[in-house]
Chains A and B, each alone.
Chain A
């Protein structure tokens, strides 16, 4: 990537403030609330035009839920998502539908995200059919163009998804997301279901498209290696909160949060001599219905102190453009 930093002058495309999603588990005739699963618990992040923001975290940390809220597919419990000056959470159905032209999504599993009963032409042409008044022929021509952009060819127009491989299906999904020329694309682990050899192709394709169409990408993944190559900035999530957010290079050069450090250390190295004597994290992600007191990470943190058990740290700028939520950030 050429442009690494979130130059403060860059235009803000989306501003997320205090985003929360709590799922209430209710039982009985009187719908007594028995627990409150805090899937996303206060996410603040700003997305700048043209950048790629990687969101990383382990399963269950709320990253996909966050993605769905950014898409407007899920109403947040609290907080706001401001996209191009308008609050997505306050929109009615019609405004939301209109807004979808600008925010699109690429799903994780290309085998589940394409309607098996539609041909490639219908799949990719559908957004155009819904949002434009183009004729069938115009739509077909655009679909053919889109197919070429994503590296498929027009012979495949009349085929059904099951006739394609995983990588090809993901290309179809990308073409579908691209059809309306959106400004922002949320990629929800778009390569984690693909073969390793295909992953690089899809990532390169996304990078190419980002340049060509001036896209802003939010790239959700569960490990740092997947986002390293494509992201400008990386946010690390743990139990519904962002624990660290900074430029990619700065993050890889020295993490501030022990959790990020653990993620970095768990990346396999090229050579045995490069292995560190790092001990992997123990235990599982705590139950988001009953999060630990204080810092959510203290149960697994090797450096946890008394204050970590009592007081939750807030996301603070410890270095320039480098925010972390930790009482004892790791300075290197």
Chain B
């Protein structure tokens, strides 16, 4: 039992000041927590530098990303025999500088990777919550929709849509989002099903909270951690999926460039010139790792138990 200690006046003062303090102290607390977590800091560093790289891509590229130079084709990275300091990471089969292409490619890859996850996550999260919370026929309808999405091969579905609406960056984002939302919907639904039976949801009903409030204050905060983990992992999948679209001729096309496109361009030369595919692959890996670290940190911040 807590014996009630007599608190001096300053305590009362502190309580009254809380409201003014909360908003600014909240963000301070987050930053403090971020710096406390090593992986969080690393993740933030990676993600911020990749984003900066994408924003200032045109200013920092050493070479043109699209100009071909057949004389300089397949030059290895600078530390290898035959490498030159002009092309730090070497050149591809058409003599284009790989570093420059990675820098420019970050724009499309980041945009596609992150926006499609946001599109898919938003659809999946809301349909999953509705389906799990309301149950009955709504659940039946949404889950049969999910089943039918799962039954159609993703690539086929994307091909058909893109063939009909034509390829463009927004179209690619939309298509990638619309094909991957089912993962989130299923995950969120099953979490919602278990959470809505908990006593604290019953207690919300007992105090007269309406559905909107129960979903936003009781269920959403409790499913969001698993959601964030799945979403960050899916950024990688989406970047790769975009490359398969490019490969099939419906994604990003030359002279534009994305990491996924570079990967598929490089696959013919894997045996002889490994660097063509390896560096864009590494770029994807590092970026995704950064996003995952950041996501883990975000999950911890949102969970009061880890404070």
Name A residues whose Cβ lies closer than 8 Å to a Cβ of B.
Answer: 71, 73, 96-98, 100-101, 104-105, 107-109, 112-119, 126-127, 130-131, 136-137, 140, 144, 148, 151-155, 157-158, 160, 162, 167-168, 171, 173, 176, 179-180, 198, 201
Contacts and interface: CB of A to CB of B under 8 A. Distances in A.
Nearest 9 pairs of A and B residues by beta carbon: A160-B304, A117-B221, A100-B208, A113-B199, A112-B199, A97-B208, A127-B207, A115-B200, A105-B206
B18 interface: yes
Interface of B: 1-2, 4-5, 7, 11-12, 15-16, 18-19, 198-200, 202-210, 213, 217-218, 221-222, 302, 304-305, 307
Nearest to B195: A115
Contacts of A180: 207
B304 A162 contact: yes
Contacts of B302: 117
Contact of B4 (A131, A151, A173): A151
Contact of A130 (B199, B202, B213): B213
B207 A162 contact: no
Contact of B15 (A112, A118, A140, A167): A140
Given A117-B304, A148-B4, A176-B203, A131 B208 contact: yes
A75 to B, nearest CB: 13
B304 A130 contact: no
A14 to B, nearest CB: 16
A153 B202 contact: no
Contacts of B1: 151, 167-168, 198, 201
A144 B7 CA distance: 13
A153 B12 CA distance: 11
A126 B205 contact: no
A158 B7 contact: no
Nearest to A167: B1
B15 A105 contact: no
Contacts of A116: 200, 222, 304-305
Contact of A154 (B15, B19, B205, B210): B15
A157 B15 contact: yes
B2 A113 contact: no
A153 B209 contact: no
Max count, chain A CB within 10 A of own CB: residue among B1, B5, B205: B1
Contacts of A112: 198-200
Nearest to A180: B207
Contacts of B205: 73
Contact of B207 (A130, A157, A168, A201): A130
B15 A113 contact: no
Given A96-B208, A151-B4, 7 more contacts: A98-B208, A104-B206, A105-B203, A107-B199, A115-B204, A117-B302, A140-B19
A236 B11 CA distance: 48
Contact of B209 (A71, A130, A136, A168): A130
B207 A100 contact: yes
A126 B209 contact: yes
A153 B200 contact: no
Nearest to A121: B18
B7 A104 contact: no
Contacts of A71: 206
B15 A153 contact: no
A235 to B, nearest CB: 22
Nearest to B3: A151
A104 B208 CA distance: 10
Contact of B217 (A98, A115, A151): A115
A104 to B, nearest CB: 7
B199 A154 contact: no
Given A109-B199, A113-B199, A155-B7, A162 B305 contact: yes
Nearest to B205: A73
A167 B16 CA distance: 27
Max count, chain B CB within 10 A of own CB: residue among A117, A126, A173: A117
14 contacts: A73-B206, A96-B208, A98-B208, A105-B203, A112-B198, A115-B217, A116-B304, A117-B217, A118-B217, A126-B217, A140-B15, A153-B7, A155-B11, A160-B307
Nearest to A72: B206
A74 B176 CA distance: 43
